[in-house]
């Protein structure tokens, strides 16, 4: 159940990217699946997701060239906003499950 929710919440965060292979441009999507066993895994899931996103260079600023074009900046800002929204949804889910475990929410 939680894996389906994570897949839906992070679908836009793992947006398609362009990759060069020998002069041929291909598009691919990265799907993020994390198997959560208990509530302790919810806390670790956020760190793992951040590492996956950083490995895909969705959040690193090193790949941004010095004189990026206006359309490139808009695309980069939109991608960063999607990641921020996905992080917020993940944080809400983590706090909901922790509150439910502690008996605050029935």
83 pLDDT exceeds 90?
Answer: yes
Is 51 within 8 Å of 95 (Cβ atoms)?
no
Question: How far is CA 22 from each of CA 17, 27, 63, rounded to the nearest angstrom?
Answer: 16, 14, 19
99 pLDDT exceeds 70?
Answer: yes
Classify residue 21 as exposed, middle or buried by CB count within 10 Å of its CB (0-12, 13-18, 19+).
exposed
Look at residue 50 in the predicted model and tell me its pLDDT.
74
pTM for this one?
Answer: 0.36
- Per the structure, the count of domains in the chain is 1
Q: What is the pLDDT of residues 3-26, one digit of tens each?
A: 555 555 555 454 444 444 454 554
**Residue 14 is encoded by which pair of tokens?**
């793992």
Domain span holding position 24: 2-102
Rounded Cα distance between 98 and 77, Å, is: 32
32 pLDDT exceeds 70?
Answer: no
């Amino acid at each position: 159940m939680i894996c389906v929710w994570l897949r839906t919440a992070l679908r836009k965060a793992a947006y398609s990217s362009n990759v060069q292979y020998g002069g041929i441009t291909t598009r691919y999507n990265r799907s993020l699946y994390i198997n959560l066993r208990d509530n302790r895994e919810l806390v670790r899931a956020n760190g793992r997701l951040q590492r996956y996103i950083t490995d895909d260079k969705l959040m690193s600023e090193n790949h941004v060239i010095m004189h990026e074009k206006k359309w490139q900046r808009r695309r980069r800002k939109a991608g960063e906003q999607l990641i921020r929204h996905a992080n917020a949804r993940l944080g809400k889910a983590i706090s909901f499950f922790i509150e439910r475990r502690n008996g605050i929410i029935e």
